[in-house]
Amino acid sequence: MTDPLAHIKSSSIPKRSLITLGLLAAYRLGAAVPVPGAEGLGLFSAGILPYVAAAVAVSLAAPFVGTLAAWRRGGKGGRESLFYATRFAGFAVSAAYAYRLAAPGAPSMVTAAQATLTLTAGAILLLWIAEEITDSGIGNGVILILLVDAVLGFGGALSALFARVGKKELDFFVALLPVLGVLLVWACVVAIETAHRKFTVRYSAKIVGRQMMAGQKTTLPVKVNAAGILGAAAVLPLLAWLPDAHPVLIPVIALLVGFFTFYFNDAAGDPKEMAATIQTMGGYLPGVRSGEATVEHFENLRDRLSLGSAFALAALTAVWESVRAAVGLPASVSAPVLVLAGGAAFDLLNQAQGRAMLEQNDGSMLRAAERAREAGRPRRRGTQRKKKKRR
């Protein structure tokens, strides 16, 4: 039986959790650092959304720009070049957004330039914090920073909502309805995130050594929404440029969420690679010929799943945005923010659980290997001599 305390000490999850919490705390402390020459702005006021906008723009342009398309197909080296291109594009967008924030309140052009440089440096530092969280902590750093902003926005919206209850402007039970609506939206997001489509793969009989292995059948699950919350995250930078709670924009926001969800879902899987993997392992799909027919089957399956998840999230966005406009809730609880928050929290729990299971399995394998080594070691000479004397 393993010692729970020893397992906790040997696990990397507490260390990674502390690193994540520490970096997120540094982000919140940095947000409170004032920027000289820009009243009301903090060091991280530019936020992480400019980088998200640049990443979305590069992803959309990659199929149509030859260099970006070559980098995407270029293996590890190409992906690194695409990563650096996205980073520098994020710096440029951050500088433009920083100037948009700093210029209106600056007394002179020199002060505006200084404030712009400070905000841009803060955006670069914030991106570094996000990358450190991804590499050394738990979860995706960019998504976690957006999650922290969403949680703070929820707190402000709730306090404003119940302040209206205190002023007798709103009934208490009526105020609970938006809270229940938020929980219902999160439940729908989790249901979409956990939905899978299963398909059957059969493996032909084969000879291993001198034995004949019978054919096997297995069921492989395919995630319905392979893109996760990327579609909602891609819409967030656009919301900063659109007027809030306008009825005409509700279908526009819903269509944007559906479009980006479909796009990232369609780009998530490679049907040719899936078909080649199954064929290499000696498997086949019942009723589907191997080769191009299998690839076409996976392409049709991917398109149907992408369309279904895009429609579900677009419908959820349209319904919640209509409720939000009717009740008068702020943009901090908009549908893309709720989808992002619910999906990010669910993904964070899954990653922590997966890492814990992986470390537990690794620890079991190490302990088994140690016992095997102990069993294979020769006994000490003193023990052997005592046995000889007893004989």
Structure tokens at 64: 């149509």
In the chain, % of residues over pLDDT 70: 85
CA atoms of 193 and 229, how far apart (whole Å): 9
Residue with tokens 């893109």: 227
Is the pLDDT at 133 greater than 60, yes or no? yes
Compute the average pLDDT of residues 52-71.
83
Is the pLDDT at 25 greater than 90, yes or no? yes
At residue 220, φ and ψ (nearest 5 deg) are -110, 130
Ranking 169-173, 195-199, 360-364 by mean pLDDT, the lowest is 360-364
For residue 4, the model assigns a pLDDT of 53
CA atoms of 162 and 226, how far apart (whole Å): 37
In the chain, % of residues over pLDDT 90: 15
Query: Is the dihedral angle over the CA atoms 40, 42, 45, 46 positive or is it negative?
Result: positive
CB atoms within 10 A of CB 65: 14
CA atoms of 102 and 304, how far apart (whole Å): 46
Q: Are 101 and 118 in contact (CB under 8 A)?
A: no
CA 263 vs. chain centroid, Å, equals: 16
For residue 361, the model assigns a pLDDT of 65
Q: How confident is the model at residue 270 (pLDDT cuts 50, 70, 90)?
A: confident
Is the pLDDT at 236 greater than 90, yes or no? no
At residue 138, φ and ψ (nearest 5 deg) are -120, 130
Q: Could you tell me which residues come within 8 angstroms of residue 47 by beta carbon, excluding any fewer than 6 positions away?
A: 123, 126, 145, 149
Compute the average pLDDT of residues 354-371.
62
Q: Are 300 and 290 in contact (CB under 8 A)?
A: no
Structure tokens at 303: 């398109």
Residue 64's alpha-carbon distances to 35, 58, 68, 105, in angstroms, are 39, 10, 8, 39
For residue 364, the model assigns a pLDDT of 57
On the CB side of 169, CA atoms within 13 Å amount to: 8
CA 326 vs. chain centroid, Å, equals: 30
Q: How confident is the model at residue 368 (pLDDT cuts 50, 70, 90)?
A: low
For residue 383, the model assigns a pLDDT of 47
Interaxial angle between packed helices 75-102 and 66-73, expressed in degrees from 0 to 180 and rounded to the nearest 10: 130
Burial of 355 (0-12, 13-18, 19+ CB in 10 A): middle
The highest-confidence range among 158-167, 235-244, 334-343, 359-368, by mean pLDDT, is 334-343
Q: How confident is the model at residue 257 (pLDDT cuts 50, 70, 90)?
A: very high
Residue with tokens 């369609």: 266
Is the pLDDT at 254 greater than 80, yes or no? yes
Ranking 23-27, 240-244, 264-268 by mean pLDDT, the lowest is 240-244
Q: pLDDT averaged over the chain?
A: 81
Structure tokens at 146: 């957006």
For residue 69, the model assigns a pLDDT of 78
Give the closest residue to 116 by CA, choosing from 130, 127, 104, 134.
Answer: 104
Give the closest residue to 233 by CA, choosing from 20, 51, 45.
Answer: 51
At residue 365, φ and ψ (nearest 5 deg) are -65, -40
| Better pLDDT: 276 or 18 | 18
∠ CA 141-145-147, nearest 5°, is 115
Ranking 112-116, 202-206, 342-346 by mean pLDDT, the lowest is 202-206
| Better pLDDT: 388 or 227 | 227
| Better pLDDT: 391 or 273 | 273
The pLDDT tens digits of the residues spanning 172-224 come to 887 788 888 889 999 999 998 888 888 788 877 666 566 666 567 778 788 88
Ranking 61-75, 141-155, 204-218, 263-277 by mean pLDDT, the lowest is 204-218
Q: Are 115 and 305 in contact (CB under 8 A)?
A: no
Determine the longest span between alpha carbons in the chain, in angstroms.
100
At residue 282, φ and ψ (nearest 5 deg) are 80, 25
For residue 212, the model assigns a pLDDT of 61
Which regions of 224-360 does DSSP assign to beta strands (E)?
A: 283-284
Ranking 79-93, 140-154, 204-218 by mean pLDDT, the lowest is 204-218
